[in-house]
Chains A and B, each alone.
Chain A
Amino acid sequence: MSYLEYNVKRAPAGLRKLLYLNWALIVLVATVSSVGFLMLYAVAGGSLTPWVEPQMKRFALGMGAMLFIAMVPIWFWRNMAGVAYGASLLLLILVEIIGDVGMGARRWIDLGFIRLQPSEMAKITMVMMLAAYYDWLDIRKVSRPFWVLVPLVIILLPTFLVLRQPDLGTAILLVAGGGIVMFLAGVSLWYFGALGALGIALVTAVFQSRGTSWQLLKDYQYRRIDTFLDPSIDPLGQGYHITQSKIALGSGGWSGRGFMQGTQTRLNFLPEKHTDFIFTTLAEDFGFIGGMVLLGLYLLILGFCFYTGLKTRDRFASLATLGIAATFFLFFAVNMSMVMGLAPVVGVPLPLVSYGGSAMLVLLAAFGLVQSANVHRPR
């Protein structure tokens, strides 16, 4: 179904569109972001600087972007998918050339007013590109080898560029997010089985290559895997993050130690407490209950995305929305697994909560797409 086939009269137009926004989703996003502000305030030791203020500005900017995107018909965004994807790739290449180096990786482009992280952008534009691709593709051809290869290229191009930065977390998110879109589009399960086998082979290869001339990962990435598997081998080095994070979580107990009372955070035992490990601060201060509330909020956001994605009969809107939902899920699932010691420390922020402009803007823009799909659903 192309946009020409929409019965335009049945889709809302003009200011009436505002009525068709999914306001619950907006409230949820704002709520989670506020939790983020609160936690950033706490880790700064009860101060709006240096994190809360910039984060709030970005949130406002992101909300504006979200509403703007929501007002623009979804089919316009479908047509823009290729452009957006291409732009992301270009930015990723640009990072390679002129990017800023931070924490041993080249990830940012300084635009003056914002330090842009193109890898964050790529997560969403890739999903858009895949959705547009499958929208275009005859659904009977979906599982044909050549037509499977094309989306693989779409996924692997940004993945390759991201891995070069190097940023393992984003690479995993890209591959998993893209895979989920392919799965939703109806690619034969045999391919996934084969991929699974390939994955096992790859993991074996990664470990086998260690210490040889064709070593696939960087040494620090190996160390991260090692310490994930056994944090006690290096309790003050690489394992320190995981150990201290678990201590912070555990010491929070059922109801937490109280706002800004968590000692692990307050006394700097936690690393990167304002970015990747912010969940531990929340769990230490507000305990199991606090953590569950945040997880519940995430699941609700996920639910509304699913609702929109399943309600629309537009293939692009559906795939893009569900793909965004999947990416969002991967964000918080990987981050939480990481801080709980279920996954290696790979550097994935907690969506909408962690300090970071690019992720915040990109996520809000993505929710703009979801809103657009919702608004422009023929009724």
Chain B
Amino acid sequence: MKRSPKDTAESHRRIGRRALVLGALQLGFAGVLAARMRYLQVENADQFRLLADENRINIRLLPPARGLIFDRHGTPLAVNEQNYRITIVREDAGDVEMVIDRLQKLIHLDPDDLKKSLKELRQRSAFVPVTLADRLTWEQVSEVAVNAPVLPGITPEVGLTRHYPFDTDFAHVVGYVGPVSDYDLKKLDDPDPLLQIPRFQIGKSGVEAKLERKLRGKAGIKRIEVNAQGRVMREIGRQESTPGADVQLTVDSSLQNYVQARLGGESAAAVVIDTHDGDLLAIGSTPAFDPNKFVTGISVAEYKALLENEYRPLANKAVQGTYPPGSTFKMVTALAALEAGVVAPEETVYCRGFTRVGGRRFHCWKRAGHGHVDLLESLQESCDVYYYDLAQRVGIERITAMARRLGLGRQYPIPMSAVAEGLTPTKEWKRLRKGAEWVIGDSLNAAIGQGFVLASPLQLAVMTARLASGRQIEPRLIKSIDGIEAPRDKPAPLGLNENNLRRIRQAMFAVSNTRKGTAYRSRIVLDGLRLAGKTGTSQVRNITKAERARGVVRNEDLPWNRRDHALFVSFAPHDRPRIAVAVVVEHGGGGSKAAAPIARDIVLRALTGDMPPLDAYPRTDRQRIAEEQKRLKPKLRRPRGVESGRDRA
């Protein structure tokens, strides 16, 4: 079609005009784009740079090595063992089933664990390592490592797990660690990010739990660059973790081992304390359990068995069990009366088997009565009537005050689980807690360590140490933390009349070294090792009138859990005391029969540092003792698998 030159010019003009508008609009929009770029890239650059870093940088925690626990001589009680495990990376393995099949020919894989691992493998990204087998021996790992070429994607890895070389011996003292639970998180109120690591191990009981923060250490941080899929590209920075502080306890591992073995199958507890500085040398409680089982994860059945066991293996009877101290409390009453001046040591009280107070009869353990008894004889033969008399003279307030002075009725701040306070009753306490007035019978019962009085073996040991030293001994469990010795002052004197204390000690010596003493059968005949002690038999039931009329039932005829508790407190050597020992055998019957021999053996072991020498025993007993020792020997184990304590895996 033809177009006139005029039209052409008009067309050109029109296009020119509109193109100008269009060009201006486009330029304007380009300006908007530039402004937006400036806004994003110049004004907000820092913010976006930060976001980009957040995108790419992940922070991983490096768990610290847990602090080790040693005994007073540096023998390790809790260590970190290298733990070998096998992991698989799906994308490297290719044919996962084939690889696992081959692996199974080399090492045993638990079918349940394998099922779990396979599930995890399916769920996680292809590059995430998944654990196939845990806690392998070095032999198993090397077997796998040697066959690595035919096991693509399989890597042996090393981790650390807690191990307790003494197995059951320190179950209650050191305690154990276990994976952190939701309950722990709620209870602990600890912001430490380490606790957020799945299956991170924290102390669950004993020293492990109480010194958790010191033992745990501080997490290190690893900054890694990850891509959008979460794959780790490289490590950007690393701040190493600070290992937890090493803790040294005052306990002597070989003595503890002996104590646990000696207590044996009984439901019993024993505490050995240093009478100079209060160092706890052994804290035994039987039966015990294997803390290592808790670390690896105890089976429900095993745990249930522990819970349902009548002997309560999970309880630390030495510090959390409280018992009526029985006759071991008589030193308290005697000292209270002596200090109050209401009785002279030579003064005698006539025991005819019972005493009548407030229309009630209070019996002595010896139905026939002891006749005239003075202070020494009252302890030596453990006459109850003497103390009924003293109780009326001195009053409960002074008895309780003396009990507290000697360390009863107080919760000691030692890092163990459920340390018991015990009970030293007062009139006010009874009014508040029982809603009844204190009656004179309560005082009489308290005077012989029955009734309301309760004490733990630890408290009894402290009491004995205080009697032996005349000083305010405080029990100490932590010797040092991270090499720094725990502060230790020389204990202040109790402020008691030394003559009175000497009388008590003499009487306690008489208990086990004179023919009439209740613990004469458990005497030590070697001078320099002789012990002073006091037996105790505490009733766990009231003897009714009807029972008494039928004649006292012999303990052996009662069901186990209704038998009396057997107690024995002692210090040795009697003239220059170094240690105090308290033993409680639950439902063991009489203190002289069940508890005293154990205490004697422990004393000998503690003083000699070795198997008790036979010549320390009365000649007639030696053969029997030798047989006992032979039976005991296999139970005394050397800790296994530990060369040098300071090794950190």
Could you list which residues of chain A lie within 8 angstroms of chain B, going by C-beta atoms?
Answer: 1-2, 5, 136, 138-139, 180, 183-186, 244, 246-254, 263-264, 266-269, 283, 287-288, 291-292, 295, 298-299, 302, 306, 309-310, 313, 315, 318-319, 322, 326, 329, 333, 336-337, 340, 342
Q: A269-B227, A337-B33 are in contact. Are A251 and B48 (CB under 8 A)?
A: yes
Cβ contact within 8 Å between A319 and B15: yes
Closest 9 CB pairs of A and B: A250-B48, A251-B52, A267-B227, A253-B45, A288-B41, A268-B228, A251-B49, A186-B14, A269-B228
B620 interfacial contact with A, CB 8 Å: no
Cβ contact within 8 Å between A250 and B228: no
Produce 1/0 per residue, B9-29, CB < 8 A to A. Answer: 011101110110011001101
CB-defined contacts of A2 to chain B, threshold 8 Å: 1-3
Task: Give 16 new A-B contacts, CB below 8 A, not counting A2-B3, A251-B48, A269-B55.
Answer: A1-B5, A2-B2, A183-B22, A184-B19, A251-B45, A251-B53, A263-B225, A268-B228, A291-B37, A295-B33, A302-B26, A313-B8, A315-B8, A318-B11, A326-B26, A340-B40
Q: A1-B3, A183-B18 are in contact. Are A329 and B26 (CB under 8 A)?
A: yes
Cβ contact within 8 Å between A139 and B11: yes
Which of B8, B18, B19, B226 touches A267 (beta carbons < 8 Å)? B226
14 pairs from A and B in contact (CB 8 Å cutoff): A139-B3, A183-B18, A184-B15, A184-B22, A249-B37, A250-B44, A250-B45, A253-B41, A254-B41, A268-B227, A310-B15, A315-B8, A315-B11, A333-B26
Measured CB to CB, the closest approach of chain B to A44, in angstroms, equals 15
B123 interfacial contact with A, CB 8 Å: no
Measured CB to CB, the closest approach of chain A to B127, in angstroms, equals 13
CA distance A283 to B7 in the complex (A): 47
CB-defined contacts of A313 to chain B, threshold 8 Å: 8, 12
Cβ contact within 8 Å between B27 and A306: no
CB-defined contacts of A306 to chain B, threshold 8 Å: 19, 23
B window 24-61: CB within 8 A of A: 26-27, 29-30, 32-34, 36-38, 40-42, 44-45, 47-49, 51-53, 55-56
CA distance A329 to B45 in the complex (A): 27
Task: Tell me the nearest residue of chain A to B47, going by C-beta.
Answer: A250
Q: A249-B48, A250-B44 are in contact. Are A342 and B36 (CB under 8 A)?
A: yes
Q: How many A-B residue pairs have CB under 8 A?
A: 145
CB-defined contacts of A292 to chain B, threshold 8 Å: 34, 37
Task: Tell me the nearest residue of chain B to A251, going by C-beta.
Answer: B52
CA distance A301 to B8 in the complex (A): 26
Measured CB to CB, the closest approach of chain B to A329, in angstroms, equals 5
CB-defined contacts of B2 to chain A, threshold 8 Å: 2, 5
B644 interfacial contact with A, CB 8 Å: no
CB-defined contacts of B148 to chain A, threshold 8 Å: none
B632 interfacial contact with A, CB 8 Å: no
Measured CB to CB, the closest approach of chain A to B126, in angstroms, equals 15
Which of B18, B32, B38 touches A288 (beta carbons < 8 Å)? B38
B542 interfacial contact with A, CB 8 Å: no
Q: A250-B41, A315-B11 are in contact. Are A326 and B22 (CB under 8 A)?
A: yes
Q: A283-B37, A291-B37 are in contact. Are A318 and B12 (CB under 8 A)?
A: yes
Measured CB to CB, the closest approach of chain B to A182, in angstroms, equals 10
CA distance A211 to B23 in the complex (A): 40
CB-defined contacts of A342 to chain B, threshold 8 Å: 32-33, 36
Q: A2-B3, A250-B47, A318-B12 are in contact. Are A267 and B40 (CB under 8 A)?
A: no
Cβ contact within 8 Å between B30 and A333: yes
Cβ contact within 8 Å between B1 and A322: no
CA distance A66 to B10 in the complex (A): 31
CB-defined contacts of A315 to chain B, threshold 8 Å: 3, 8, 11-12, 15
Cβ contact within 8 Å between A299 and B7: no
Cβ contact within 8 Å between A283 and B41: yes
Measured CB to CB, the closest approach of chain B to A296, in angstroms, equals 9
CA distance A283 to B40 in the complex (A): 10
Among the interface residues B38, B40, B51, which one has the most CB atoms of the partner chain A within 10 A?
Answer: B40
CB-defined contacts of A5 to chain B, threshold 8 Å: 2
Q: A139-B7, A306-B19 are in contact. Are A287 and B226 (CB under 8 A)?
A: no
Interface residues on B, range: 35 or more
CB-defined contacts of B5 to chain A, threshold 8 Å: 1
Cβ contact within 8 Å between B37 and A139: no
The main secondary structure of chain B at its interface with chain A is helix
Measured CB to CB, the closest approach of chain B to A100, in angstroms, equals 27
CB-defined contacts of A263 to chain B, threshold 8 Å: 52-53, 55-56, 225
Measured CB to CB, the closest approach of chain A to B27, in angstroms, equals 7
Task: Tell me the nearest residue of chain B to A271, going by C-beta.
Answer: B228
B340 interfacial contact with A, CB 8 Å: no
CA distance A5 to B229 in the complex (A): 65
Cβ contact within 8 Å between A291 and B41: yes
Could you list which residues of chain B lie within 8 angstroms of chain A, going by C-beta atoms?
Answer: 1-3, 5, 7-8, 10-12, 14-16, 18-19, 22-23, 26-27, 29-30, 32-34, 36-38, 40-42, 44-45, 47-49, 51-53, 55-56, 225-229, 233
Q: A267-B226, A315-B11 are in contact. Are A310 and B16 (CB under 8 A)?
A: yes
CB-defined contacts of A283 to chain B, threshold 8 Å: 37, 41
CB-defined contacts of B233 to chain A, threshold 8 Å: 267
Measured CB to CB, the closest approach of chain A to B167, in angstroms, equals 50
Task: Tell me the nearest residue of chain A to B33, going by C-beta.
Answer: A336
Measured CB to CB, the closest approach of chain B to A135, in angstroms, equals 9
CB-defined contacts of A267 to chain B, threshold 8 Å: 55-56, 225-228, 233
Cβ contact within 8 Å between B41 and A247: no
CA distance A184 to B16 in the complex (A): 8
Task: Tell me the nearest residue of chain A to B225, going by C-beta.
Answer: A267
Cβ contact within 8 Å between B48 and A246: yes
CB-defined contacts of B45 to chain A, threshold 8 Å: 250-254
Cβ contact within 8 Å between A268 and B229: yes
CA distance A177 to B227 in the complex (A): 39
Cβ contact within 8 Å between A264 and B15: no
Task: Tell me the nearest residue of chain B to A140, going by C-beta.
Answer: B7
Q: A1-B8, A247-B48, A310-B15 are in contact. Are A253 and B37 (CB under 8 A)?
A: no
Among the interface residues A247, A283, A326, which one has the most CB atoms of the partner chain B within 10 A?
Answer: A247
CA distance A269 to B54 in the complex (A): 12
Task: Tell me the nearest residue of chain B to A134, going by C-beta.
Answer: B11
Which of B18, B22, B51, B226 touches A250 (beta carbons < 8 Å)? B51
Task: Tell me the nearest residue of chain B to A329, going by C-beta.
Answer: B26
Which of B29, B41, B55 touches A249 (beta carbons < 8 Å)? B41
Which of B30, B33, B47, B229 touches A340 (beta carbons < 8 Å)? B33
Measured CB to CB, the closest approach of chain A to B23, in angstroms, equals 6
Cβ contact within 8 Å between A248 and B41: no
Measured CB to CB, the closest approach of chain A to B11, in angstroms, equals 5
Cβ contact within 8 Å between B51 and A247: yes
CA distance A288 to B10 in the complex (A): 43
Cβ contact within 8 Å between A251 and B8: no
Cβ contact within 8 Å between A186 and B18: yes
Measured CB to CB, the closest approach of chain A to B344, in angstroms, equals 90
CB-defined contacts of B228 to chain A, threshold 8 Å: 267-269
Measured CB to CB, the closest approach of chain B to A143, in angstroms, equals 11
CA distance A295 to B496 in the complex (A): 98
Task: Tell me the nearest residue of chain B to A248, going by C-beta.
Answer: B52
Task: Tell me the nearest residue of chain B to A306, going by C-beta.
Answer: B23
CB-defined contacts of B40 to chain A, threshold 8 Å: 246, 249-250, 340
CB-defined contacts of B19 to chain A, threshold 8 Å: 184, 306, 309-310, 322
Task: Tell me the nearest residue of chain B to A253, going by C-beta.
Answer: B45
Measured CB to CB, the closest approach of chain B to A261, in angstroms, equals 11
Measured CB to CB, the closest approach of chain A to B154, in angstroms, equals 27
Cβ contact within 8 Å between B14 and A180: no
CA distance A246 to B51 in the complex (A): 10
Measured CB to CB, the closest approach of chain B to A56, in angstroms, equals 28
Measured CB to CB, the closest approach of chain A to B135, in angstroms, equals 36
CA distance A340 to B29 in the complex (A): 13
Task: Tell me the nearest residue of chain A to B7, going by C-beta.
Answer: A139
Task: Tell me the nearest residue of chain A to B37, going by C-beta.
Answer: A291
CA distance A254 to B41 in the complex (A): 6
Measured CB to CB, the closest approach of chain A to B37, in angstroms, equals 5
Measured CB to CB, the closest approach of chain B to A249, in angstroms, equals 5
Task: Tell me the nearest residue of chain B to A283, going by C-beta.
Answer: B41
